[in-house]
Amino acid sequence: MSLYRLAWPLVRRFDPETAHALALWALRRRLVPARRPRPDPVLRRHVLGLTFANPVGLAAGFDKDGTAVDALAGLGFGFVETGTVTPRPQAGNARPRLVRLEADGALINRMGFNNAGATALAARLARRRHRAVVGANIGKNRDSTDAAGDYGACARVLAPLVDYLVINVSSPNTPGLRALQDRAAVDAIAAATREGARATRGDGGPPVLLKVAPDLTADDRAAIAACAADGTVDGLIATNTTIQRPDTLRAPDRDAAGGLSGRPLAPLATRVLADLYRRTGGTVPLVAVGGIDGPDAAYARIRAGAGLVQLYTALIYAGPGLVREVVNGLADRLRADGFTRVADAVGVDAASHEAPA
Ligand SMILES: Cc1cc2nc3c(=O)[nH]c(=O)nc-3n(C[C@H](O)[C@H](O)[C@H](O)COP(=O)(O)O)c2cc1C
């Protein structure tokens, strides 16, 4: 049993947001013991013009302000996504705003983009030492009336310091944000993001991805796939948290307000991913996130169409040793099926997943 599992009865006595702040503090102080995964050439990835030591990343929202990027990369992640940050710092919604659904291996959050602002993140990223790929996930301030301007402002500040940018238009906790997933809004936001990035970075800017909600309609998914296929954005991240509440939920807090993440999100996130893979004919880099809780889930998501995967909620329940378990287990599963590189496994099962309603 891992040290983290042993400590869990103590961890769960803290309110979830306090426990999270303590975890980040312990990471920064290098108090989190975790054996790194073994480096393995089968896991090396070249995608989005970047090289990843392995395809397993930390999802956005865990280290919004980039306070522990080096320590998180040190756990063995192939990439770490910071953010969501907004141009100006903001407090987010009132606490409590993060709820554990322990019986379901899930969380519900309504954080509302609490963050220290893009400039503070940039200052921290300028000091980072680790070589892992680092992304910044960007959003708009709650009270902003110029969404595209906000994404552009974040891109301008962060582009020189990151390997990729993510346009987040899929959080359920900023009123009106998810309406920005339509074609016209994505076009305007992507253009502003690229323009902001080019203003401060000579090479044309980092790749720009779009993070989508699992609750999109088929028409929305068609529009998003078209944006990626025509190069408006360079890749897609599927998915953010869901506003749906699957019937399988057992925990007493199942009806809390906010976005649901973790194990119950996995079936829906997988179907959205496979649908986007089919719609883009496998030509667009896709990052899978949503309920990935071990090597089997990570491998299944790659087979469903993901070039890269990310985790968040499972880390809260399983602890930092999960990174090594997923990375090593993924290499074992690829080899067992005769694959010599991740790219050959991407999408082999995409046809077998039913499209979401
Ligand atoms: C507490 C919490 C905060 C989050 N904050 C963000 C965020 O700021 N930006 C974002 O794009 N996604 C955010 N997410 C969503 C995750 O990045 C991820 O898409 C989602 O949780 C599904 O993955 P999981 O089931 O592995 O947690 C957050 C999730 C949680 C649980």
Q: How far apart are the first and last CA of the chain?
A: 40
pLDDT > 90? residue 35: no
Predicted confidence (pLDDT) per residue in 191-205, tens digit:
999 999 999 998 999
Quick one: tokens of 276?
């986007």
Predicted confidence (pLDDT) per residue in 120-175, tens digit:
999 999 999 888 899 999 999 999 999 999 999 999 999 999 999 999 998 888 87
From residue 117, alpha-carbon distances to 35, 92, 120, 198, 284 in Å are 33, 12, 6, 20, 30
Domains within the chain, CATH numbers bracketed? 3-352 (3.20.20.70)
pTM of this prediction?
0.97
Percent of the chain at pLDDT exceeding 90: 85
pLDDT > 80? residue 13: yes
pLDDT > 70? residue 90: yes
What integer is the mean pLDDT of 299-312? Answer: 98
Active site residue 171: yes
C-alpha dihedral sign at 156, 161, 164, 168: negative
Atom of ligand 1 nearest to the CA of 168: 11
241 CA from centroid of ligand 1 (Å)? 6
Q: Whose CA is nearest to atom 6 of ligand 1?
A: 61
pLDDT > 80? residue 293: yes
What local confidence, expressed as pLDDT, does residue 146 receive?
A: 95
114 pocket-lining for ligand 1 (C-beta < 6 Å) = no
**Residue 210 near residue 228, CB atoms below 8 Å:** yes
Predicted confidence (pLDDT) per residue in 233-289, tens digit:
999 999 999 999 999 999 999 999 999 999 999 999 999 999 999 999 999 999 999
Catalytic residue among 2, 144, 170, 171: 171
- pLDDT tier for residue 1 given thresholds of 50, 70 and 90: low
Which residues fall within 8 angstroms of residue 143, CB to CB, at 6 or more apart?
A: none
pLDDT > 70? residue 332: yes
- The dihedrals phi and psi of 70, each to the nearest 5 degrees, come to -60, -45
- pLDDT tier for residue 5 given thresholds of 50, 70 and 90: confident
